[in-house]
Amino acid sequence: MSDVLENFETDHVKHSIGGLGGHALRRATHMIMALIPLIYYSRGQDLADYVGLNPEQLVSSVVIVILLLEALRLKLGIVIIGQREYEANQISALAWGGFAVALALLISPDGGKTGLDAGLYGIPIIFGLTFVDPIMGEIKRKKQDLKMAIYVGLLTSYAVWMGCHFWIETPILASLLLAPLTVAGEVPKLRYIDDNATMVLFPLSALVILLPFL
């Protein structure tokens, strides 16, 4: 399975602006994004009220700003610390991640609950991106072993989803079925769509399809 990695560049440090420090910042940013659903579900209404919007409008406004800034960045060919050289000419992982996280917040059903409990689907979907992706990426970078990355990714993803089952009552069926799709979203190497998007969109799409049975 490690042979599969021969076709791809798995050590992104040398292509990251800022070298190892930039790469570390990129990973840290990934994990800090776990705060987004926690803030949204616990304080989203308060933040939205502050700017005269509802929570969904606030999320949409933020992602529109992100996309506009990304369009400007691409036009100017700018890459910042933590980004990779090739992102000067294509949509960045950060923009894809912001777009996907916004969709997860806007689309994931709240089960008629409030507060953090309303994130019974949105939180594990986004946590999958913020925690599984860095772990799998580092294993591929250091070990050059896709099989190991998948196994550890599955273990991490199931820990996230099952943890949310006990924490915020994410349905067990959803946890069992959607956890592998987070990992599946990290495996394919698509030229223009970053895995920051697919790791969210795969389980989110499946959730929409499975929802009548949950």
pLDDT tens for each residue of 61-117: 999 999 999 999 989 888 777 666 676 778 888 899 999 999 999 999 999 999 999
Span 10-28, mean pLDDT? 63
Compute how many other C-beta atoms are within 10 angstroms of the C-beta atom of residue 10.
19
Checking if the pLDDT of 151 tops 90, the result is yes
pLDDT of residue 90: 83
User: For residue 168, which of 121, 214, 207, 132 has the smallest C-alpha distance?
Assistant: 121
Of residues 4 and 112, the one with the higher pLDDT is: 112
Checking if the pLDDT of 130 tops 80, the result is yes
Span 193-203, mean pLDDT? 92
CB-based contact 127:37 (threshold 8 Å):
yes
Checking if the pLDDT of 8 tops 60, the result is no
Counting every residue written for the chain, the total comes to 214
Helix, strand, coil percentages (3-state) for the chain, rounded to 5, are: 75, 0, 25
pLDDT of residue 39: 97
Confidence of residue 6 (pLDDT cuts 50, 70, 90): very low
Rounded Cα distance between 109 and 56, Å, is: 12
Confidence of residue 22 (pLDDT cuts 50, 70, 90): low
Checking if the pLDDT of 58 tops 50, the result is yes
Checking if the pLDDT of 2 tops 60, the result is no
Q: In a 10 Å sphere around its CB, with 0-12 CB exposed, 13-18 middle and 19+ buried, how is residue 14 labelled? A: exposed
